[in-house]
Amino acid sequence: MKNRRPLIIVIIIGILLLIPLIAMQFTNEVDWDLADFVLMGILLLCTGFACELVLRNISSTKNKIVMCAIILAIFLIIWAELAVGIFGTPIAGS
């Protein structure tokens, strides 16, 4: 199972990236370009593989949960900053 998890992560990321692609076909509210897909793919890959690294290398279940929660919190903060610029940093286009 350990060797299949990276493949499962990549497949899930592909499915997640299909959501905005399909939504773009039905509404003008979603307006992603290639750079948006690439950036979100990289962000999701880094998050998924960071959690995978934690799951493989940390033995305590409590520590695994805490570390993955921290990784997910960092992901959500970066995602929110890129989406709407909650902090007003230059990466958000402010």
How far apart are alpha carbons 67 and 37 in whole angstroms? Answer: 26
Q: What's 3's DSSP letter?
A: T
pLDDT (tens digit per residue) in 5-48: 899 999 999 999 999 999 999 999 988 999 999 999 999 999 99
For the entire predicted model, the pTM comes to: 0.86
Residue 93 clears pLDDT 70, i.e. is over it: no
Classify 80 in phi/psi space as left (phi over 0), alpha (psi -120 to 50) or beta: alpha
**32 in helix, strand or coil?**
coil
Q: pLDDT > 70: what percent of the chain?
A: 96
Question: What does the alpha-carbon distance between residue 3 and residue 6 come to, in Å, rounded to a whole number?
Answer: 7
Q: Which residue has the higher pLDDT, 71 or 93?
A: 71
**Is residue 2's pLDDT more than 70?**
no
Average pLDDT over residues 59-88: 92
Closest residue by Cα to residue 92 from 78, 76, 81, 80: 81
